[in-house]
Amino acid sequence: MPGIYIAAILTTAIALAIFGTIVRKLKLPANPRLLLLAFLIVLPLEPASFYFVRVPLDHLLTSLLGRDSAILHWLVTFYAPLTEEPAKLVPLLVPAIRRDISRVNFGRYALAIGLGFAIGEMWFIAEIIARNPKFAETPFYFFGGYLSERLMVCLLHSAFVGVALACLRNRFVLGVAGAMALHWLGNFPIFLMASNAFGLGATFWAIAVQVWIIVYFVGALALLSYFVFGKVKPGLLFYGRRKCPECGAEYDASLFAANLGATRYERCPHCRHWHFVKTSV
């Protein structure tokens, strides 16, 4: 078995363990069967949108503008937002799912849909890599970049679709446009790096893109936590509420702590003492 497939299996397992657990344990009223159905519907939609929409669109524009057209190179940056964001909304075609999504639980649906779409995408990318002879003999442990990137994308897809679902009952078209715009904004620096914009050099753009990815990821995490809790509490999204073992006060878990597998070493904001607590949502 190609190493990339083993990496994809591990990445899928980790994604389900992290984000699947969050979806399952979030205390937002939603039909669990419909959440699962929405997750399953979007699993194949990344490759479907690519082969049945994106590839024909690229062929059409290439025939009209030419492969070396500067306009085409600019339009390519819109491919992913214009094809992937509508694909993630296909579950809304199921009336029961559409009725079950509300202002209270849309963040939970966004996580389920984003996770399903991201898992489909990670296997789509793994299949493309596996077909490349250059990677045929590469061991799975050399695909650490693939693993970390794909896990980040799980959250990013959830944040994007959350923008659209937040507007499901009011100004839905504007919400979809907002999701597309955020998606495009996330990818655009990569286009600048590929084209060495402004002649700043490969080193500059490599660093700039890495910084942008970190900033963008933190922003998406904050946005998603706002969708779920109505406040920017990213630590609460992953680790839930805590009860201090010393003073007994409850508090929202912080994202920043020493994570040690099944336990965390974190600070209580009330008594300001550090202590070990179990890792849980």
| Ranges 105-114, 197-206, 226-235: which has the least confidence | 226-235
The pLDDT of residue 137 is above 90: no
pLDDT score of 191: 84
| 114 pLDDT tier (thresholds 50, 70, 90) | very high
CA distances from 204 to 196, 208, 214, 231 (A): 9, 6, 16, 35
The pLDDT of residue 161 is above 70: yes
Residue whose pair of structure tokens reads 């079950």 in the numeric block: 100
152/44 Cα distance (integer angstroms): 19
pLDDT score of 281: 47
| 279 pLDDT tier (thresholds 50, 70, 90) | low
Give residue-wise pLDDT tens across range 264-274.
888 888 888 88
124 token code pair: 């789509």
Residues 6+ apart with CB under 8 A from 229: 107, 236, 237
141 token code pair: 């442990």
CA dihedral 253, 254, 256, 261 (to 10 degrees): 10
277/275 Cα distance (integer angstroms): 7
Give residue-wise pLDDT tens across range 30-45.
999 999 999 999 999 9
* Beta-bridge partner residues of 241: 252
Q: What is the mean pLDDT of residues 177-187?
A: 94
The pLDDT of residue 238 is above 90: no
Give residue-wise pLDDT tens across range 45-100.
999 999 999 999 999 999 988 888 888 988 999 999 999 999 999 999 999 999 99
Q: How many CA atoms lie within 13 A of 233 on its CB side?
A: 14
Contacts 24+ apart (CB under 8 A), 53-60: 53/83, 54/79, 54/80, 54/83, 57/83
Average model confidence (pLDDT) across the chain:
90
The pLDDT of residue 7 is above 70: yes
Contacts 24+ apart (CB under 8 A), 234-237: 237/22
201 token code pair: 């050099």
* Beta-bridge partner residues of 278: 263
Q: b/e for 263-278, b at 16 or more Cβ within 10 A?
A: ebebebeeeeeebebe
